[in-house]
């Protein structure tokens, strides 16, 4: 996929979070730079905390403008980590206050530099609650893909307490500022990842569907599934309460043929490791900590099933990564995973009801799969096929089409 230099659109790509090998939203920002620069001219505006790594890895031809708010951001994030260390959502919500200052400084900087860009695309943050006035730069403005607007399921009070869900309504303040700033009103197109975000945005004419996550490469051939007599499972994600790893451990306990690899780290790790000892699961469960992207993708090839029992998952990038390696996933029928997984074809969805019911449903399904692992192997080709719908090449082609539409073709 290429476009001649004369006809390439010059895009002002604003990615507050943007860094390779950082995971989560920063990786989304990095992939926008990496893939968009193949077919467009790109001027990147990002935070100065990413400067060191980006200066050695930016694609050729990409100009980078770094915005420094560290005097405010560093103490803010440090305080948030102390006060809300067990709640990733609240941590990001508080630390995200820095984006207000970042976007203000970015507008001032761009007025001085006056780059000859034709479209402004605000790619990160992906939260629909993030307020800014970047549309005042004066270019046709694209936002997203945004993903959020989910409510917390009522059947998991223990997880809500550990995640300090009582602070979630503070997002309403951010939404008020966003509306005051005209963030959505000033945008020309808003990419939305799902129906919950559609409802939060409420600006139907501007909405285009696009998943915020994607896959870099897809296996051309299906790697054989393990044939060692075990049902090999993997959980990959930050170890925080909402991800539901403790429910998975409880479900796997008592199923000797099932072995679970846990990839990731976070404030729940010590509690989960103690739970493994208490349930006498040391021979079944292995913690690998944080892995680089290529290492994680290789581990997907070594398992039968990816499991993500998160109760509040707007996206679910690991499900797409598992698809790209021909592996099905098991998740709750809520949020992003419900969009990614075709039940019975590329994985399984269980109702997001309450803790006891989720543990029971996952356990019964895993028991059946230990007896019928061929069900998972039969899903492999469908998983690879579905992964193509989420490739970054597909996403970038759609984005360029929108840019050209805004510029009159």
Question: If you write DSSP's letter for every residue of 347-389 in order, what string do you get?
Answer: EEEE----HHHHHHHHHHHHHHHHH-THHHHHHHHHHHHHHGG
Residues in the chain: 409
Which comes out higher in pLDDT, residue 241 or 44?
44
pLDDT for the residue numbered 89: 63
Q: How far apart are CA 365 and CA 332, in angstroms?
A: 13
pLDDT for the residue numbered 158: 81
Which comes out higher in pLDDT, residue 289 or 199?
289
Q: How far apart are CA 386 and CA 345, in angstroms?
A: 10
- Taking the domains of the chain in order of start, what are their residue ranges? 5-214+391-406, 231-389
Q: What share of the chain is helix, strand, coil (3-state, %, to 5)?
A: 45, 15, 35
- Positive or negative, the CA dihedral 99, 104, 108, 114 is positive
Q: How far apart are CA 3 and CA 403, in angstroms?
A: 14
* pLDDT at position 2 over 60: no
pLDDT for the residue numbered 169: 64
5-214+391-406 CATH: 3.40.50.2000
Q: Which CATH superfamily is domain 231-389 in?
A: Glycogen Phosphorylase B; (3.40.50.2000)
- Cβ–Cβ < 8 Å for 301, 356: no
Q: Is it true that 5-214+391-406 and 231-389 share their CATH fold?
A: yes
* pLDDT at position 304 over 70: yes
pLDDT for the residue numbered 314: 84
User: 137-176, pLDDT tens digit by residue?
Assistant: 999 999 999 998 777 788 888 877 776 665 666 666 777 8
Q: Rounded mean pLDDT of 341-363?
A: 96
Closest alpha carbon to 374 in 209, 182, 231, 164: 231
Q: How far is CA 330 from CA 95, 196, 272, 342, 369, in A?
A: 31, 21, 20, 10, 12
* pLDDT at position 6 over 60: no
* pLDDT at position 5 over 60: no
User: 14-55, pLDDT tens digit by residue?
Assistant: 999 999 877 788 999 999 999 999 999 999 999 999 999 998
């Amino acid at each position: 996929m290429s476009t001649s230099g004369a006809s390439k659109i010059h895009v002002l790509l604003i990615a507050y979070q943007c860094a390779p090998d950082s995971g989560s939203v920063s990786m989304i920002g990095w992939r926008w730079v990496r893939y968009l620069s193949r077919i467009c001219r790109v001027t990147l505006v990002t935070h100065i905390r990413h400067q060191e790594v980006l200066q050695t890895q930016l694609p050729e031809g990409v100009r980078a403008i770094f915005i420094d708010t560290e005097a405010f951001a560093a103490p803010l994030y440090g305080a948030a980590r102390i006060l809300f260390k067990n709640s990733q959502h609240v941590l990001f919500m508080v630390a995200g206050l820095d984006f207000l200052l970042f976007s203000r400084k970015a507008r001032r900087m761009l007025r001085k530099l006056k780059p000859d860009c034709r479209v402004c695309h605000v790619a990160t943050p992906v939260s629909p609650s993030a307020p800014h006035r970047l549309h005042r730069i004066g270019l046709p403005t694209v936002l997203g893909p945004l993903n959020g607007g989910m409510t917390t399921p009522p059947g998991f009070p223990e997880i809500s307490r550990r995640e300090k869900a009582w602070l979630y309504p503070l997002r309403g303040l951010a939404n008020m500022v966003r509306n005051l700033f005209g963030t959505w009103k000033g945008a020309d197109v808003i990419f939305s990842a799902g129906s919950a975000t559609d409802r939060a945005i409420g600006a139907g004419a501007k909405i285009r569907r696009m998943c915020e996550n994607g896959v870099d490469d897809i296996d051309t051939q299906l790697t054989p599934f393990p044939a060692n007599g075990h049902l090999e499972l993997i959980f990959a994600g930050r170890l925080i309460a909402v991800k539901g790893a403790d429910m998975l451990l409880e479900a796997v306990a008592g199923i000797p043929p099932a072995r679970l690899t846990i990839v990731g780290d976070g404030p729940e790790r010590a509690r989960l490791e103690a739970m493994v000892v208490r349930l006498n699961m040391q021979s079944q469960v292995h913690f690998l900590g944080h892995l680089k992207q290529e290492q994680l993708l290789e581990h997907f090839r070594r398992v039968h099933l990816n499991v993500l029992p998160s109760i509040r998952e707007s996206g679910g990038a690991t499900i797409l990564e598992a698809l790209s390696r021909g592996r099905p996933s098991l998740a709750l029928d809520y949020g992003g995973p419900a969009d990614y997984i075709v039940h019975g074809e590329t994985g399984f969805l269980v109702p997001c009801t309450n803790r006891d019911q989720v543990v029971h449903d996952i356990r019964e399904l895993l028991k059946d799969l230990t007896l019928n692992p061929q069900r998972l192997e039969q899903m492999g080709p469908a998983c690879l096929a579905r992964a193509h719908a989420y490739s970054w090449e597909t996403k970038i082609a759609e984005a360029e089409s929108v840019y050209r539409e805004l510029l009159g073709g």
